[in-house]
Amino acid sequence: MKLENKVAIVTGASSGLGLSIADKFLKEGAKVVFSDINVEKGEEIVSQKKNAIFIKCNVTRSEEINDLIEKTIEKFGKLDIFVNNAGTAAMAGVDSMSDEDWKKVIDVNLTGVFYGVRAATKYMKNNNIKGSIINMSSILGINGFNGSVSYCAAKGGVNQITRTAAIELAPLGIRINAVAPGFIQTEMTKGMLQDEACRKFLEASTPLGYIGEPEDIANAALYLASDDAKYVTGSILYVDGGWTAR
């Protein structure tokens, strides 16, 4: 049990990577807050789980993130781990992306991460908790990709939030890292992976030759959340089948 007696929040936990991470933390002994904007799905998920609750949170609203942490403390008494996983995407070229799509992706994937980092930091600092903050980045934080200008921009920003915060928080014993997935089988990538030509391209571009699974990312998040990574901060952990090694 790598996370026994720990309390964790995972945003975007009603599906995909967030759900896999939250479930992994539960199995490793943590009490886990599943957070998402999808109330019906989130409440259904936790209804059959022990040591888990659901709290609705729109990460683009700082007051909701602050409330998320307050409610977590009320329920479980503390917070040790905060995972900024909530994300979205919008496919469009640089000359065709709308203001609305640009703003949505940046608000959720970048500003929402900053709000989470800031709120978790304030709580951990004020309560002398040497916790772990984990951000969800992507291989597209350092690689360009057709039709993904807003997503690439946001994830590049997440990397820099992670590195900068790590330097600031290290004297407090608070670690902050990011997981950067390659192409993983989730609802977000379902359309791409169902396109045979696109899937073949992605598999051919991945040195290991296949598409990853959510549990691959959950295992990486578990490592960063646990004491196994006690000397790891400011790192971007690429879980991408070798994509960024090319």
Distance CA 11, CA 16 (A): 11
177 neighbors 224 (Cβ within 8 angstroms): yes
CB burial of residue 163 (10 Å; 0-12, 13-18, 19+): middle
Is 151 marked active-site?
A: yes
Question: Which of these is catalytic: 115, 123, 151, 238?
Answer: 151
Distance CA 181, CA 192 (A): 16
134 neighbors 177 (Cβ within 8 angstroms): yes
65 neighbors 9 (Cβ within 8 angstroms): no
C-alpha dist (Å) from residue 242 to 6, 151, 189, 208, 225: 32, 20, 18, 6, 23
C-alpha Rg value of the chain to the nearest Å:
17
Which residues are identified as catalytic?
151
